Amino acid sequence: MTSESRLKYFPISFFAIIMGLIGLYLVLEKAAVILNFESGPLVFLLYFIVLLFLVLTIAYIIKMILYFEAVRKELAHPIRLSFFPAFSISIILFSIAFLDINETLSKYLFVIGVTLHFLATIYILSQWVRQTKFEIGHFNPGWFIPVVGNILIPISGIYLFSPELSWFFYSIGIVFWMILFTIFIYRVVFHHPMPSKLIPTFFILIAPPAIGFISYVKLTGSIDSFSKILYYMGLFLLIFLAAQFKMFAAVKFYLSSWAYSFPVAAISLATALMYQQTGLAFFNTLFFCLLALLTIFVVLLAIYTIKAAVKGEICVKED
């Protein structure tokens, strides 16, 4: 397959890699704070992620110019459509990552990311409402991605703009999370199992309650009963999915396997916040265990991604 044809099949889901890498950066930064280590050197990891993001963005823009029909088909696809907000979520995550480094840059990134994500949310919800082709069998945890983006917004938004703006987006995210989670349970219990390629996306279930917990604490300034419900739901989902180890181990590597990374980063950050708020040693120990797990995930995913790229198994025509 030529490089041109590979570009035609360059998937929007590539930006899930950026989400996972920024998640790792944020967790490492939090670990440095807890251990009172100098976090300065970590900025080089952040700059590397920025560079990778720019490379992927340029590649997808070229695809849009040369193969617009292929992009249009992705936008109409019941599964790939939900991965488009991974781009805007990445920008929002950069806003969070740069908040303590350059607040002005963080603010610009926030405005760009939130604007794009809000437009994506409206567009995707409109597609769900007006479409005539989607069926319950198409539903998978990837549909949560637009929701996760809205729940993320208060993490940096509470410092950059009016709290009311953050509450607006938080409300969208938390309500649609509950709706989509209900649909997910119905889907997996009463319909055929999901294709193996989508099995890794089960980990996405962890992200909304974990991020929802972090954002809620940022908005309210303290931990209360509702925030604990969110955190412990995210922790339970992690434990539940870990108990399905054999199911995940039987799935070969796909680009969708990067879905393992960001949700684990989310529950890691939520656990660090629980430790900082409660001072309980249990959460400190759990945080570093999750950091180790996340690091292993990201290293293995990076290795498998490079191997798949070398073998020509990525950017190929799919059904």
For 174-206, the pLDDT digits (tens) are 999 999 999 999 999 998 888 888 999 999 999
212 membership: H or E segment, kind and range: helix 207-220
pLDDT tens-digit readout, 284-311? 999 999 999 999 999 999 999 999 988 8
Round to whole Å and give the CA distance between 181 and 38: 40
Instruction: Give the chain's count of helices (H) and strands (E).
Output: 14, 0
Encoded amino acid at 103, one letter = E
Q: Which pLDDT score is estimated for 1?
A: 53
- Give pLDDT, residue 41: 85
Q: Which domains does the chain have, with CATH numbers?
A: 3-310 (1.50.10.150)
**86 pLDDT above the threshold of 90:** yes
Question: Which pLDDT score is estimated for 8?
Answer: 85
Q: For residue 236, what are the contacts with CB-CB under 8 A and spacing of at least 6? A: none
Confidence of residue 37 (pLDDT cuts 50, 70, 90): confident
Q: Sort residue 315 into left (φ over 0), alpha (ψ -120 to 50) or beta.
A: left
Helix, coil or strand: residue 312: coil
Model pLDDT, residue 3:
55
2 pLDDT more than 60? no
Cα distances (Å, whole numbers) of residue 13 to 27, 145, 226: 22, 11, 32
Helix (H) / strand (E) element for 140: namely: none
The Cα 308–Cα 177 span in angstroms is 33
Average of pLDDT values for 38-48? 89
pTM: 0.94
% the chain with pLDDT above 70: 98
- Digit-coded pLDDT (tens) for 203-249: 999 999 999 999 999 999 999 999 999 999 999 999 999 999 999 99
pLDDT at 199: 93
Exposure on the CB side of residue 198, measured as CA atoms within 13 A: 19
Separation CA 17–CA 14 (nearest Å):
6
Q: How many angstroms separate the CA atoms of 1 and 316, rounded? A: 8
Segment holding 285, helix H or strand E: helix 281-310
CA–CA distance, 172 with 85 (Å, rounded to integer): 15
- Tens digit of each residue's pLDDT (9 = 90 or more) over 142-173: 999 988 889 999 999 999 999 999 999 999 99
pLDDT surpassing 70 at residue 269? yes
Distance of alpha carbon 69 from alpha carbon 35, whole angstroms = 50
pLDDT at 319: 57
pLDDT of 78: 85
The pLDDT score that the predictor gives to residue 4 is 58
Average pLDDT over residues 277-281: 95
pLDDT at residue number 115: 97
Counting Cβ atoms within 10 Å, is residue 163 exposed (0-12), middle (13-18) or buried (19+)?
Answer: middle
Quick one: pLDDT band at residue 312, thresholds 50, 70, 90? Answer: confident
Q: How confident is the model over 100-126, as pLDDT tens digits?
A: 999 999 999 999 999 999 999 999 999
